[in-house]
Amino acid sequence: MKRQLTIYFRYIFFVSVSIMTYSCQSDSRSKKNTGSGTSFDNRRSALMLDLIRAEEMFAAGKLHQALGLIDELVSKKPQWADPYLLKGNIYTAVGQHDQARSAYEKLVRIDPDYLSAWFKLGNNVYRKKQYRQAINFYNQELTGQQAITLQSKDKQITIMQIGRCYMPLGKADSALIIYNKCITIDSLYNEAMGDVARLHIDNGDYITAVEFAKKAVALDENNIDYQYSLGTVFLKTNQYKQAISYLQAVADQRPFYEGVYYNLGQAFIRLGNNNIGSQYLSKVDSIQTLYSGLENLKLAVDRNPDNQIKWLELAKAYESAGMKTEAGQARLAAQFTGTLKNK
- Using CB atoms within 10 Å of the CB of residue 28, give its burial: 0 to 12 exposed, 13 to 18 middle, 19+ buried: exposed
- Cβ atoms 2, 281 nearer than 8 A: yes
More confident residue, 52 or 13: 52
The domain segmentation of the chain, as residue ranges, is 1-26+42-186, 291-342
pLDDT band at 133 (very low <50, low <70, confident <90, very high): very high
Ramachandran category for residue 129: left, alpha or beta (phi over 0 → left; psi -120 to 50 → alpha): left
- Cβ atoms 203, 172 nearer than 8 A: yes
* Pairwise CA distance, residues 49 & 77, whole Å: 14
75-115, pLDDT tens digit by residue?
A: 999 999 999 999 999 999 999 999 999 999 999 999 999 98
Closest CA to 332 of 109, 10, 4, 20: 20
Q: Could you tell me which residues come within 8 angstroms of residue 121 by beta carbon, excluding any fewer than 6 positions away?
A: 101, 104, 105, 108, 137
pTM, entire model: 0.82
Hey, what long-range contacts does 116-120 have (CB within 8 A, 24 or more apart)? 116/27, 116/29, 116/85, 116/141, 116/154, 117/81, 117/85, 117/141, 117/146, 118/144, 118/146, 119/22, 119/154, 119/157, 119/158, 119/161, 120/23, 120/85, 120/88, 120/89, 120/92
251-301, pLDDT tens digit by residue?
A: 998 888 889 999 999 999 999 999 999 999 998 988 888 888 999 999 999
Q: Which pLDDT belongs to residue 27?
A: 52
223-233, pLDDT tens digit by residue?
A: 999 999 999 99
144-177, pLDDT tens digit by residue?
A: 777 888 888 888 999 999 999 999 999 999 999 9
Mean pLDDT of the chain: 87
**For residue 16, pLDDT beyond 80:** no
Q: Which pLDDT belongs to residue 340?
A: 57
Rounded to 10 deg, the angle between the 152-166 and 131-143 helix axes is 160
**For residue 19, pLDDT beyond 70:** no
Instruction: Provide the greatest CA pair distance for the chain.
Output: 81
**For residue 54, pLDDT beyond 80:** yes
- Cβ atoms 260, 281 nearer than 8 A: no
**For residue 10, pLDDT beyond 50:** no
pLDDT band at 127 (very low <50, low <70, confident <90, very high): very high
More confident residue, 202 or 13: 202
- Cβ atoms 256, 320 nearer than 8 A: yes
Measure the CA angle with vertex 251, ends 247 and 255; round to 5°: 155
Closest CA to 120 of 19, 29, 190: 19
Q: Could you tell me which residues come within 8 angstroms of residue 183 by beta carbon, excluding any fewer than 6 positions away?
A: 189, 192, 193, 196
Q: Which pLDDT belongs to residue 286?
A: 85
Q: Which pLDDT belongs to residue 148?
A: 82
1-26+42-186 has which fold? 1.25.40
Q: How many residues does the chain have?
A: 343
Q: Collapse the DSSP code of 125 into the 3-class scheme (helix H, G, I; strand E, B; otherwise coil) and give the result.
A: helix
* Pairwise CA distance, residues 201 & 229, whole Å: 8
- Cβ atoms 242, 234 nearer than 8 A: yes
**For residue 26, pLDDT beyond 80:** no
- Using CB atoms within 10 Å of the CB of residue 326, give its burial: 0 to 12 exposed, 13 to 18 middle, 19+ buried: buried
For the chain, helix, strand, coil in percent to 5 are 75, 0, 25
* Pairwise CA distance, residues 314 & 300, whole Å: 9
**For residue 333, pLDDT beyond 70:** yes
- Cβ atoms 311, 95 nearer than 8 A: yes
**For residue 2, pLDDT beyond 50:** no
pLDDT mean over 122-146: 93
Q: Which pLDDT belongs to residue 29?
A: 36
- Cβ atoms 223, 194 nearer than 8 A: yes
Q: Which pLDDT belongs to residue 41?
A: 57
Give the least confident one: 7-11, 108-112, 274-278, 315-319.
7-11
Q: Which pLDDT belongs to residue 145?
A: 79
- Cβ atoms 16, 329 nearer than 8 A: no
